[in-house]
């Protein structure tokens, strides 16, 4: 892919004031009820730039009411599916036309590599078109005379008002996985982006009306956890779709349970990369570079637990340490950078606290383990070896460029270690033995298993977690089920 790398952008940004955006409620661009705002911080420079409104409970209520009224009015959900499909396709085209600008904004918000965010913006556009195509496939089925004298069929109907709460690490792709299937099936949506990355989501809001999506069908409120909590607690929210931490997911599920609102949760992971002694080690290292270090570990599916078969363990550690030490970290806008900074001071504090923990636990560090001398929120790509199963670094999701490595003797032990975690989001299996690969695919308890590759994805393939990694699946045709209720119809024909 030909990636357009913006030159001189940092200088341009430094010379101009950042955007002061508003929220989208009921088709209007509005400030917060009390006028409060908060600033976004560029993780590369540590400097504040644009600002967004700090929504109040009144704003959240207005957004949910607008979504509810749009749903009740039925303009969107009763629109022919072909028209909803056309609007989503147009939205995809509008996103694609602004992909570069959207990607730059995401980089300025979360500090991830421009190449990743640009590729993601194009994928975001094609996701909109994919769910546009699926809009015309939503259907029930007939059951011919289930009882004598009766005819019956099913309908798939939209659920109502969907709250879409998104994180900062991949703000728009994770939004698209919620917004597009929700719209394809006729729901109304209130989006609450992460307080770290609100501006890119508001940019998408600017395209909604132009795509032909009626006022009130898509609303965006900005703010931190309290705004999310007000949204989740609103009685007119019928379903909550959330990607974020396990702790917040549990809080949301508990609130939703009280009024029996539906939830889909995509939570964290501590995904194993399982390296057998017959693996192509160059390919494994490329998988670790792209699946862990390139995102600075800020991906829910990061392959951060590395299991290596005993016979190749020492040689593999040498190569992994060399890989980590040679990662070129720097400005995420620079095409030469292989890793950007962490996204926020909170994330920096969290990751460096694990460095302290590793020192306290006496872990063997073979690369990194420090914060380099730089104004941005950088940490070194880091590898700990011989990490025990009860180490906090083995058990917990760090969300930083930190690998923990452990050895195993045989396939049975690899399976036991891989599954000895409360998470189950993804796993990588590296082997040239086809039969063993198939046994591992069955044995590993995770929502995605990659064999001899890592962290590839496509909108046709479902994504989600086993165990504490979540509830439900996003993307793929299965996603339509998450945004529809099944209605069964009986007709007396006797």
CA-CA-CA-CA torsion for 40, 224, 170, 437, nearest 10 degrees?
150
Nearer to ligand ADP, 62 or 77 (CB): 62
**Known catalytic residue at 241:** no
Nearer to ligand ADP, 166 or 382 (CB): 166
- Which residues are near ligand ADP by CB under 6 A? 165-167, 192, 194-195, 224-225, 228-229, 232, 244-245, 248, 251-252
Nearer to ligand ADP, 110 or 431 (CB): 110
Nearer to ligand ADP, 61 or 100 (CB): 61
Q: Residue 259, Cα to own-chain centre: how many angstroms?
A: 26
Nearer to ligand ADP, 84 or 192 (CB): 192
Q: Which residues pair with 37 in a beta bridge?
A: 53
Neighbours of 346 (CB within 10 A): 13
Q: Name the packing angle between helices 99-110 and 171-184 (round to 10°).
A: 130
- Least gap, CB of 50 to ligand ADP (angstroms): 17
Nearer to ligand ADP, 57 or 413 (CB): 57
- Least gap, CB of 431 to ligand ADP (angstroms): 33
**Known catalytic residue at 413:** no
**Which residue's C-beta sits nearest to ligand ADP?**
228
Q: How many alpha carbons fall within 13 Å on the CB side of residue 118?
A: 16
Nearer to ligand ADP, 162 or 367 (CB): 162
- Least gap, CB of 232 to ligand ADP (angstroms): 5
Catalytic residue among 100, 116, 195, 266: 266
- Least gap, CB of 244 to ligand ADP (angstroms): 3
- Least gap, CB of 259 to ligand ADP (angstroms): 15
Catalytic residue among 40, 106, 241, 300: 300
Give catalytic residue positions: 266, 300
């Amino acid at each position: 892919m030909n990636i357009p790398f913006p030159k001189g952008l940092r200088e341009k940004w430094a010379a101009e004031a950042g955007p002061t955006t508003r929220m989208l409620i009921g088709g209007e661009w509005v400030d917060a009820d009390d006028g409060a705002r908060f600033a976004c911080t560029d993780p590369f420079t540590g400097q504040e730039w644009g600002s967004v409104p700090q929504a109040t409970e009144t704003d959240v209520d207005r957004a949910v009411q607008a979504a509810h009224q749009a749903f009740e009015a039925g303009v969107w959900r009763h629109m022919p599916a072909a028209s909803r499909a056309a609007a989503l396709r147009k939205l995809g085209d509008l996103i694609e036309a602004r992909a570069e600008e959207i990607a730059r904004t995401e980089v300025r918000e979360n500090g991830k590599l421009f190449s990743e965010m640009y590729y993601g913006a194009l994928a975001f556009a094609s996701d909109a078109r994919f769910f546009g195509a699926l809009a015309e496939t939503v259907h029930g089925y007939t059951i011919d005379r289930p009882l004598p004298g009766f005819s019956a069929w099913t309908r798939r109907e939209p659920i109502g008002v969907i709250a879409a709460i998104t994180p900062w690490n991949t703000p728009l792709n994770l939004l698209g996985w919620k917004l597009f299937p929700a719209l394809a099936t006729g729901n109304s949506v209130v989006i609450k982006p992460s307080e770290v990355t609100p501006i890119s989501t508001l940019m998408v809001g600017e395209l909604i009306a132009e795509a032909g999506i009626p006022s009130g069908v898509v609303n965006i409120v900005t703010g931190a956890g309290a705004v999310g909590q007000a949204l989740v607690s609103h009685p007119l929210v019928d379903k909550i779709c959330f990607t974020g931490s396990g702790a917040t997911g549990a809080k949301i599920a508990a609130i939703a349970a009280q009024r029996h609102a539906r939830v889909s949760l995509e939570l964290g992971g501590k995904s194993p990369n399982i390296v057998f002694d017959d693996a192509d080690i160059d390919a494994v290292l490329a998988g670790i570079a792209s699946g862990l270090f390139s995102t600075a570990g800020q991906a829910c599916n990061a392959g951060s637990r590395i299991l290596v078969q005993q016979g190749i363990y020492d040689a593999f550690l040498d190569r992994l340490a060399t890989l980590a030490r040679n990662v070129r970290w720097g400005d995420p806008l620079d095409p030469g950078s292989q890793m950007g900074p962490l996204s926020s001071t909170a994330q920096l504090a969290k990751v460096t606290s694990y460095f302290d923990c590793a020192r306290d636990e006496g872990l063997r560090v073979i690369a990194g383990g420090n914060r380099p001398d730089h104004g941005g929120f950088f940490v070194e790509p880091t590898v700990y070896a011989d990490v025990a199963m009860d180490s906090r670094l083995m058990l917990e999701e760090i969300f930083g460029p930190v690998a923990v490595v452990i050895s195993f003797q045989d396939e049975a032990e690899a399976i036991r270690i891989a599954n000895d975690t409360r998470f189950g989001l993804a796993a990588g299996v590296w082997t040239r033995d086809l039969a063993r690969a198939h046994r591992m695919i069955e044995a590993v308890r995770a929502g995605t298993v990659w064999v001899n590759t890592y962290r590839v994805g496509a909108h046709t393939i479902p994504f989600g977690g086993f165990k504490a990694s979540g509830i439900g699946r996003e993307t793929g045709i299965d996603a339509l089920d998450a945004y529809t209720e099944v209605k069964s119809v009986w007709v007396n024909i006797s």
